[in-house]
Amino acid sequence: MRELRKLLYRFGIYKTQEGYEPLLVAVELILEDVDLLGSLTKTLYPKVAAMCEMNAGAVERNIRFCATKTWEANPALFTELAQRPISQPPTIGDFLCMLYNYMDDILFERCQIHQTAHSPAGSV
């Protein structure tokens, strides 16, 4: 999750901000179960709320604040992250999906490096 924290910093989202923890928790949960992206209001927000000791409405508001702030702070980073032109602020779902894809790519690369480093010589 260090990479996610570094990315959020580049976006202008700092640990001292109210939406920081719920956003991290949301991405962690989505990494465990990508289907949560299809059920933000009914499943993801309540799960994050329980873990962060807040209500689901506050979770949604905080993540929306983070998405808006990131767009204002560094819209070019969205294009880099999405690997395609992004010309308008993302929805919360799009924002979470971008963060999920970013982290999933990093975790996949780590897994590939780990497998290569630990495979016997000559085997693939």
82-114 pLDDT, tens digit each:
888 999 999 999 999 999 999 988 866 766 665
Which H or E element spans position 52? helix 45-52
pLDDT tens digits, 31-89: 999 999 999 999 999 999 999 999 999 999 999 999 999 999 889 998 888 888 999 99
118, pLDDT greater than 60: no
